[in-house]
Amino acid sequence: MIQTIDAQRSLSFSDFLTYNFPDEGRYELVNGDIVRILATRQHDNIAEFITDAFKAEVRRLSLNYRVSGRVMIRTMSSGGQEQGRVPDVSVVSRALWDANLSAYTAFTDPLQVAVEVVSSNWEDDYMDKLDEYQRLGIPEFWIVDYLALGSRELLGRPKEPTVFVGTLDTTKTYTLSPYRGNQLIQSPTFPELSLSMNQILAA
């Protein structure tokens, strides 16, 4: 669920970065509007479960990544407007993270992995964020549709909870691979990851 804040004027990206938010929480800049991201407990449980799974792989294999749910990235809409996005889970190369440890501003370089856990505004994840993340060049993008909210064309008949893993092809567009039930999710970034949709649902 999203809640629009300060819809009286269209904000620039620099305005957004210095905005005095009324409450703590996650905010994004979408088409000039500030929106507050309001997540259910189940949504948060799933995002935290995936974060922990990624962190475990980073530790186990001593990978040079940092995993966080509080990373802001600057993206561009198809119309050329700057957006400020905060994926539910982000995997950032350690070199990119450490390049400017005093920075508060958003990342402008592509992350390694962005994960979006689908909520009621599911078109944002399947369409807008997918377009923006591939435009930025994020190599791996997960759409975790645990409530099977997407279209039947995507989720099948009957619709089933699905994880889509998008990887950039030679044309810099995502090829989406679906994973359902007990199928092990194939992640290019974490090739030894042992994780299924059913495990995520149990979170």
Extents of the domains making up the chain: 40-201
pTM: 0.92
Question: DSSP readout, the chain?
Answer: -EEEE-TTSPPPHHHHHT---SSSSEEEEETTEEEEE---HHHHHHHHHHHHHHHHHHHHHT-SEEEES---EEEE-TTS-EEEE--SEEEEEHHHHHTTTT--SPB-SPPSEEEEE--S-HHIIIIIIHHHHHHHT-SEEEEEETT--S-HHHHTTTT--EEEEEEE-TTS-EEEEEE-TTPBP--SSSTT---BHHHHHT-
Which fold, 40-201? tt1808, chain A (3.90.1570)
Over the stretch 113-134, which tens digit does the pLDDT of each residue have?
999 999 888 888 999 999 999 9
Indicate the pLDDT class of residue 5, thresholds 50, 70 and 90: low
What are the tens digits of pLDDT across the range 36-51? 888 899 999 999 999 9
